[in-house]
Structure 1
Amino acid sequence: MAEALIIYTSLTGNTEACCDIVQEQLESHNIDVTMYDVMDADPEDFLDYDIVLVGSYTYGVDGVLPDEMEDFHEEMQELDLSGKVYGAFGSGDDFYPVFCTAVDDFEAAFEAAGATKGGTGVKVNLYPEDEDEENLRTLADNIVKTFEGM
């Protein structure tokens, strides 16, 4: 059975709600899913899993990574994640001029680490609505398809 690890941070619960949707969809494909808050995780944890995901909110007017994700993001890029399939998702507020750039930042970090993109990153405005839930499920489905095709 394939194993997936979701590492996330959530300030208001929005990103955690996204994690739950992705977890449920991966499990519907018989993927064994583990979820860690970033404060309880190290990037090296990804080495023990087939599928690796990050969920992070984007903070503030400048669209920066949350403080608790900065070191994780940096260290992650030093890993060799070749052979792993990745996905990224997160929440933000489209009130700000820069929206959900944490998703882009983590996709770039996964690419730098040699992981294979499983699907298009999902950016959620605040709490996941019906369309967001569908996009998160599609991300999980595409990750599984990519993994099975490797």
Structure 2
Amino acid sequence: MSKVLIVFASMTGNTEEMAEAIRDGVRDAGIEPEFKSALDASGSELTEYDGILLGAYTWGDGDLPDEFLDFYDEMDGLDLTGKKAAVFGSCDSSYSSYGAAVDTIIEKLKELGAEVVLEGLKVELNPSNDEKQECFNFGKQLVEKLA
């Protein structure tokens, strides 16, 4: 059976709410994912999983959040060839770059050889019930890509 890892950074709880709904979707598809805050995860762990879901809010004008930086830096040099990945995060349209952290993480995953199998999921601030359903479906879709 495939192994799935969900790692996220959340300051106000918005990205964590997304991560929880995604986790529920992965579970619904038959896999119990590993679920971690970026502060409790190590970039090197990514090599142990078939499916990777990374989530981060965008800080300021397009930066990764501080609590995601160590994890992101630890990804350097990994070989993620054969891994299926997807990225999500809460965003704020009042900034010039909408959800740039999601795009930054997608590029990093691609550089490391991962196959990014879903378009980055960006939600304005806190997810509505409909957006939580989108997150749930996002988790299920990643599992479908592993089959």
| TM-score bucket (shorter structure) | over 0.9
1:71 is displaced (CA, Å) by 3.1
Q: Which amino acid aligns with 1:73?
A: Y
Question: How far off is 1:97 after superposition?
Answer: 1.8
Deviations 1:33-56 (A, max 9, x none): 111111111111111111111110
> Aligned partner of 1:7: which letter?
V
Task: Tell me the amino acid that sits aligned with residue 94 of structure 2.
Answer: F
Q: CA deviation at 1:118?
A: 2.1
How far 1:134 sits from its partner (Å)? 3.2
1:118–1:147 contact (8 Å) kept in structure 2: no
CA distance in 2, matches of 1:108, 1:117: 9
Residues 137-148 of structure 1 aligned to structure 2 (within 5 Å): 137-148=136-147
Determine what percentage of the aligned residue pairs are the same residue. Answer: 34
Partner of 1:106: 105
1:44 maps to: 44
Alignment of 1:1-150 (within 5 A): 1-60=1-60, 62-148=61-147
Instruction: Judge conservation of contact 1:77–1:112 (CA < 8 Å) in 2.
Output: no
Larger CA deviation: 137-146 vs 98-107: 137-146
Kindly indicate whether structure 1 or structure 2 has the higher relative contact order, using CA contacts under 8 Å at least 6 residues apart: 2
What 5-or-longer segments of structure 1 have no aligned partner? Answer: none
Residue 130 of structure 1 deviates from its aligned partner by 3.1
| Matched-pair contact (CA < 8 Å) for 2:23–2:136 | no
User: Is 131-140 or 25-34 further displaced after alignment?
Assistant: 131-140
- State the TM-score, normalizing by the size of structure 2: 0.93
Secondary structure of the 1:53 match is strand
Distance apart, 1:137 and its partner CA: 2.7
SS at match of 1:88: strand
How far apart are the structure 1 equivalents of 2:77 and 2:134?
29
Question: What CA distance in whole angstroms lies between the structure 2 residues aligned with 1:134 and 1:77?
Answer: 33
Q: Give the conservation status (yes or no) of the 8 Å contact 2:92–2:99.
A: yes
**Secondary structure in structure 1 of the residue aligned to 2:34:** strand
After superposition, what is the alpha-carbon deviation per residue over 1:36-82, rounded to whole angstroms, capped at 9, x for unaligned? 1111111111111111111101011x121112222322331421011
CA distance in 1, matches of 2:74, 2:139: 25
Q: How far did residue 107 of structure 1 move?
A: 0.6
> What TM-score comes out, normalization by structure 1 length?
0.91
Look up the SS of the partner of 2:89 in the other structure.
strand
